[in-house]
Homo-oligomer: A and B are copies of this chain.
Amino acid sequence: MALVNENFLKLKQNYLFAEVAKRADAFKAAHPDKKVISLGIGDVTRPLPQACIEAMHKAVDDMSRPETFKGYGPYRGYDFLCDEIAKNDYKARGVDISTEEIFVSDGAKSDTGNIGDIFSKDNIVAITDPVYPVYMDTNIMEGREIKIIPCGEQSNFAPIPPDFHADLIYLCSPNNPTGSVIKKDLMKAWVDYAIKNEAIILFDAAYERFITEDDVPHSIFEIEGAKSCAIEFRSFSKTAGFTGTRCGYTVVPKGLMAKTADGQKTDLNAMWYRRQSTKYNGTSYIIQRGAAAVYTEEGQKQINESISYYLENARIIREGLSAAGIECSGGINAPYIWVKCPDGMTSWEMFDKLLNETAVVGTPGSGFGEMGEGYFRLTSFGSREDTIEAVERIKNNF
C-alpha cells in the first residue's frame, strides 16, 4: 500500500482558533443581546488601496484582449513588480538587492512553508517560542530536529542567539504574536551567530510596514554580512491588505550558499529558482499588477493611511490597558499587543474572563507555544469604534 509521510502524525492538532470560535459562539448563543467584539483576528479589515483596485481593473481588461493577454508569466515574477520591490523596499533603504534575487509568490506562508524543500532533513532548526505555527509545523512535517529559543519578558520577548548550534533559524520581526522587534544591535548579533555557525536565517518580515522606530531594521539585509547568511520573506498581506488577494515575495541573495554532506557548496538562489519553476507556475498577472500599484505615489499614501489607522488602534489598546493597570507590550512596531494576564491567570482563564465579563474576544497566548502561557494577544485590525469600545469595557472590568 502507498505509504504516508508519517511525520504528519506527529503534528499537534491546532485547536486554538477552532476553540476560540467555539467558546465565542457559545457565549453569543447564551447572550444574544450582547455585542461581541473580536480583537482576536489576525486578518485585515480595511479595503484594498484604490491604486491597487484601479491597477487590477486594468489588468483584468488586459486579459480580455488578445494583444494584451498574458499567458504563463516569468517564474520569478514580472519585472514590473520585481523592479519596484528592488527599488522601493531595498535601494531606498540603502540595500542592494537585484531583481534576480526576488521571487514573487502567492504569499509569505507558502514561501516560509515551501523553503524547506531545498534543505536537507538533517539540519537542526531553531524556532522561537512563542511562534507563528507554520515554521514549527512545516519542520515537523519534514522530520527535522527542532530546538526552541524561549522569548520571554527579560528580552522584551525578542529572541537572543542561543548557546547551542543550529543550521536553520526562523526569525520574525516585527513578531507575530508578541509584537516585539529585533533591533539593529540584536539583528547584528544574529547575523554574527549565523556566520559563526554557518547557518541560514529565515527572516520573516511580513509586518515590516508597521515599524515606527528608527533602530528597527526593516530588512535583515540592512545588516552587513546578512546576504551571506539569510533569506527574507515579505508579504503584501498586512502591508496593503492582501490577505485575501494573495501576494508576497522571497529574497534569496545571489551567492548565498549551503553545502552537501561532503562539503560541496551549493547556490541557494539557483535551488530556489529550480524549486519554484518546478512546483509553482507564477503568481497571477492580475494580482502582480495590483501589488506593483502599492509602490505608486497614491499606493504608498493609501497604505500609509491604513497602517496608521491600525497603529492608532494599537496605541488605544496599549494605553487603555496600561491605564487599567494591565501590563502589555508590542503595538508600537506591530499590529499585535501582547498582554500579560493579570493576577496570575492562565491564557484561557483570561480568555474566559474577557469573554464573559466584557464580551471581547482575544487569542490565548498559550496557543503560540509554552512560553505564551500567561499571555494574551490582542490585535489592532478591528474598526476604530469597536477598538475604543472594547478597551472601555476592559478598563471598566479589570
**A258 near B167: Cβ-Cβ < 8 Å:** no
Known: A4-B260, A244-B73, A268-B4. A275 touches B141 (CB 8 A): yes
**A278 near B113: Cβ-Cβ < 8 Å:** yes
Instruction: Tell me if A118 is interfacial: C-beta within 8 Å of chain B.
Output: yes
> Which parts of A127-152 form the interface with B (CB within 8 Å)?
133-134, 137-138, 141
Instruction: Tell me if A53 is interfacial: C-beta within 8 Å of chain B.
Output: yes
List chain B residues, Cβ under 8 A from A257. Answer: 1
Known: A107-B281, A258-B1, A274-B8. A69 touches B43 (CB 8 A): no
List chain B residues, Cβ under 8 A from A283. Answer: 106, 246
Instruction: Tell me if A390 is interfacial: C-beta within 8 Å of chain B.
Output: no
How far apart sit A104 and B270, CA to CA, in the bound complex (Å)?
29
Instruction: Tell me if A60 is interfacial: C-beta within 8 Å of chain B.
Output: yes
List chain B residues, Cβ under 8 A from A278. Answer: 113, 133-134, 137-138, 141
**B4 near A271: Cβ-Cβ < 8 Å:** yes
Q: Which of A258, A284, A285 has the most CB of B within 10 A?
A: A284
Of B47, B113, B285, which one neighbours A279 at CB under 8 angstroms?
B113
**B3 near A71: Cβ-Cβ < 8 Å:** no
Instruction: Tell me if A189 is interfacial: C-beta within 8 Å of chain B.
Output: no
List chain B residues, Cβ under 8 A from A52. Answer: 63
Instruction: Tell me if A181 is interfacial: C-beta within 8 Å of chain B.
Output: no
**B110 near A280: Cβ-Cβ < 8 Å:** yes
The number of chain A residues with a CB under 8 A from chain B is 79
**A44 near B71: Cβ-Cβ < 8 Å:** yes
How far apart sit A45 and B71, CA to CA, in the bound complex (Å)?
7
Known: A110-B280, A244-B284, A266-B9. A43 touches B71 (CB 8 A): yes
Known: A2-B123, A3-B261. A56 touches B47 (CB 8 A): no
**A8 near B271: Cβ-Cβ < 8 Å:** yes
How far apart sit A275 and B113, CA to CA, in the bound complex (Å)?
10
List chain B residues, Cβ under 8 A from A243. Answer: 71-72, 281
Please give me the residue from chain B that is nearest to A134 by CB atom.
Answer: B278
- Output the least CB separation between A352 and chain B (Å): 25
Instruction: Tell me if A370 is interfacial: C-beta within 8 Å of chain B.
Output: no
Q: Which of A45, A117, A138, A200 has the most CB of B within 10 A?
A: A117
**A47 near B71: Cβ-Cβ < 8 Å:** no
**A45 near B63: Cβ-Cβ < 8 Å:** no
List chain B residues, Cβ under 8 A from A268. Answer: 4
Known: A63-B53, A117-B5. A280 touches B109 (CB 8 A): yes
**A279 near B109: Cβ-Cβ < 8 Å:** yes
Instruction: Tell me if A156 is interfacial: C-beta within 8 Å of chain B.
Output: no
How far apart sit A320 and B148, CA to CA, in the bound complex (Å)?
67
Please give me the residue from chain B that is nearest to A3 by CB atom.
Answer: B120
**B43 near A4: Cβ-Cβ < 8 Å:** no
How far apart sit A162 and B164, CA to CA, in the bound complex (Å)?
51
> Which parts of A260-299 form the interface with B (CB within 8 Å)?
260-261, 266, 268, 271, 274-275, 278-287
Instruction: Tell me if A168 is interfacial: C-beta within 8 Å of chain B.
Output: yes
**B63 near A284: Cβ-Cβ < 8 Å:** no
Instruction: Tell me if A171 is interfacial: C-beta within 8 Å of chain B.
Output: no
Instruction: Tell me if A11 is interfacial: C-beta within 8 Å of chain B.
Output: yes
Of B3, B200, B260, B279, which one neighbours A119 at CB under 8 angstroms?
B3
- Show 12 A/B contacts (Cβ-Cβ < 8 Å), sorted by A: A9-B260, A43-B71, A46-B66, A47-B66, A52-B63, A107-B281, A110-B280, A113-B279, A113-B280, A114-B114, A244-B284, A284-B287
Q: Give A contacts to B, CB under 8 Å.
A: 1-6, 8-9, 11, 43-48, 50, 52-53, 56-57, 60-61, 63-66, 69-73, 106-107, 109-110, 113-114, 117-123, 133-134, 137-138, 141, 167-168, 198-200, 241, 243-246, 257-261, 266, 268, 271, 274-275, 278-287
